[in-house]
Amino acid sequence: MNIEEQVELLMQGTEYGDEDLKKAMTAELRARLLIAEKENRPLRVYCGYDPTSTDLHLGHTISMRKLRQFQDLGHEVTFLIGSYTALVGDPSDKNKARPILTEEKVAENALTYTEQAFRVLDREKTKIRYNGEWLSKLTLVDLIRLGQNFTVQQFLARDNFSNRLEKGEPIYIHETFYALMQGYDAVAMETDVQVGGTDQLFNIIVAGRKLQEALGQKPLVGIIVAILPGTDGVQRMSKSTGNIVPINSGANDMFGKLMSVPDSAMSSYMRLVTRWSPQEIEKIEKDVASGAFHPRDAKMNMSSEITAIFYGEEDAKSAQENFIKTFQQKEIPDEMPEYELQDGQTVVDVILAAKLAESKSKARALIDQKGVRLDGEVLERGDMPFPHKGVLQVGKRKFVRVK
């Protein structure tokens, strides 16, 4: 890839919440890549992971996918385990303080992280480091000097802190240490590029860059990746909401959960999780929009691609065959009534007209329970226009062929 193609790939799926900031980071990334090429050296790239639990889900791997892109382009990647930052707990995406973990619990959780990470990263090209290596050596005086670079107002202006302040909920002093500690990670490793989710914007763009500059280093380039929506297509993927795709539960489970993702979230999954180039994704989206490619088939390809990343091509192919056999062939009867779709009809309209539910309230309840499917895909909303012709399934046993 030439430099412009590299920039396009590495900025794919990024989200800064500010177009000027995105342009600035894009320009800085381009400049760093040009310097690295001229000096014939790799960029030093890292992302930190706090081992606050034992298992990872697909949402955790978005930043790993970005790290892998840097690896494939020949750059030096460090998978940093936050052995010390995990003791504080990152407040960035929380509306209350995280529980403080013991060093023993952090160490226990960290054991599983690297093996799971190698489902995405190249084991031979990945450096594993723990930030306790340098954070454990900081003195109280060091912490005070780091803190001199920030104001209390900067921290209180962050949404999660300002919301808690407005509600009269506590903000603990130790929570403000987290950004200082993460910023110092970048200093300790003399980082060129740091990857992180949108919830890390302050820690990376403000804390990391500012501390590097204050301590005589060139400020890093922040690659801020979007947050992956869960299988509901709306809320961020999280164990607390139950909308996760685990990466350790087997190929069949992963494939099936990916096929349940709403069509509206497919673009996010393609850009954030697959190995496809921006051009390949753009073509798929155009073909789906024009009707040349059925959304179900596009999702099938997407699910197979993502499953192959974690379990290999053979297991992904087997998972696809099992899904088709179980959900698209076995459950659908050969004979069923037919219904002629009328202009302007919604999903609820068709369910009632085809006599698949006794009332609008029952139809909506079935939709809320994810009991309504079209060609095997869950329909999320009853008030949306009926999507396209196909086999409509309501509950386990009611089918109609919509023409």
The per-residue pLDDT for range 265-280, each reduced to its tens digit, is: 899 899 888 989 889 9
> Do 42 and 59 sit in the same domain of this protein?
yes
Task: Indicate whether 276 belongs to any domain.
Answer: yes
> Do 326 and 378 sit in the same domain of this protein?
no
Element (DSSP H or E) covering residue 69:
helix 62-72
> Do 314 and 201 sit in the same domain of this protein?
no
Check residue 299 and give its pLDDT.
92
Judge whether 255 and 65 are in contact, CB under 8 Å.
no
DSSP code per residue over 110-126: HHHHHHHHTTTS-GGGE
> Do 326 and 346 sit in the same domain of this protein?
no
End position of a domain, from candidates 188, 209, 225: 225
> Do 178 and 302 sit in the same domain of this protein?
no
Q: Name the 3-class secondary structure at 81.
A: strand
Check residue 95 and give its pLDDT.
44
Task: Indicate whether 300 belongs to any domain.
Answer: yes
Q: Name the β-bridge partners of 104.
A: none
Judge whether 248 and 221 are in contact, CB under 8 Å.
no
> Do 184 and 119 sit in the same domain of this protein?
yes
With b for 16 or more beta-carbon neighbours within 10 A and e for fewer, the 72-91 pattern comes to: ebebbbbbbbbbbbbbbbbb
> Do 326 and 342 sit in the same domain of this protein?
no
Phi and psi at residue 117, to the nearest 5°: -65, -30
Residue, of 326 and 392, whose pLDDT is higher: 392
110 token code pair: 């960290």
**Whole-angstrom distance, CA of residue 387 vs CA of residue 77:** 44
Residue, of 143 and 249, whose pLDDT is higher: 143
Task: Indicate whether 104 belongs to any domain.
Answer: yes
Task: Indicate whether 245 belongs to any domain.
Answer: no
Task: Indicate whether 115 belongs to any domain.
Answer: yes
Handedness of CA 202, 203, 209, 215 (dihedral sign): positive
Check residue 97 and give its pLDDT.
47
Q: Name the 3-class secondary structure at 22.
A: helix
Check residue 96 and give its pLDDT.
46
> Do 39 and 144 sit in the same domain of this protein?
yes
Domain with residue 218: its CATH number is: 3.40.50.620
Least confident of 69-73, 222-226, 329-333: 329-333
Looking at the predicted structure, is the pLDDT value of residue 76 above 60? Answer: yes
pLDDT band at 331 (very low <50, low <70, confident <90, very high): low
pLDDT band at 5 (very low <50, low <70, confident <90, very high): very high
Residues 6+ apart with CB under 8 A from 22: 11, 14, 16
Give the number of other CB atoms < 10 A from CB of residue 365: 13
pLDDT band at 240 (very low <50, low <70, confident <90, very high): low
> Do 93 and 220 sit in the same domain of this protein?
yes
Tally of domains in the chain: 3
Residue, of 57 and 111, whose pLDDT is higher: 57
CA 65 and chain centroid, separation: 10
Domain with residue 342: its CATH number is: 3.10.290.10
295 token code pair: 């959304």
Q: Name the 3-class secondary structure at 393.
A: strand
358 token code pair: 């006794």
> Do 281 and 397 sit in the same domain of this protein?
no
151 CB-contact burial (10 Å; exposed 0-12 / middle 13-18 / buried 19+):
exposed
Judge whether 196 and 204 are in contact, CB under 8 Å.
yes
258 token code pair: 């990916």
Check residue 60 and give its pLDDT.
84
pLDDT band at 67 (very low <50, low <70, confident <90, very high): very high
**Whole-angstrom distance, CA of residue 275 vs CA of residue 281:** 10
pLDDT tens readout for residues 301-326? 999 999 999 899 999 999 898 888 76
Whats the size of the chain, residue-wise? 403
Quote the Cα angle for 160-166-170, to 5°: 70
End position of a domain, from candidates 225, 240, 269: 225
pLDDT band at 100 (very low <50, low <70, confident <90, very high): low
Distances in whole angstroms, Cα of residue 128 to Cα of each of 111, 124, 137, 202: 12, 11, 19, 24
Task: Indicate whether 238 belongs to any domain.
Answer: no
End position of a domain, from candidates 283, 303, 330: 330
Check residue 101 and give its pLDDT.
67
State what percent of residues in the chain have pLDDT above 70: 93
DSSP state of 199: G
Q: Name the 3-class secondary structure at 283.
A: helix
Check residue 186 and give its pLDDT.
94
Nearest to 61 by CA among 309, 234, 278, 261: 309
Domain with residue 270: its CATH number is: 1.10.240.10
> Do 98 and 186 sit in the same domain of this protein?
yes
> Do 143 and 207 sit in the same domain of this protein?
yes
Task: Indicate whether 236 belongs to any domain.
Answer: no
Judge whether 295 and 265 are in contact, CB under 8 Å.
no
- Domain extent for 281: 251-330
Tell me if the pTM is above 0.75: no
Task: Indicate whether 138 belongs to any domain.
Answer: yes
**Whole-angstrom distance, CA of residue 104 vs CA of residue 59:** 25
Looking at the predicted structure, is the pLDDT value of residue 329 above 70? Answer: no
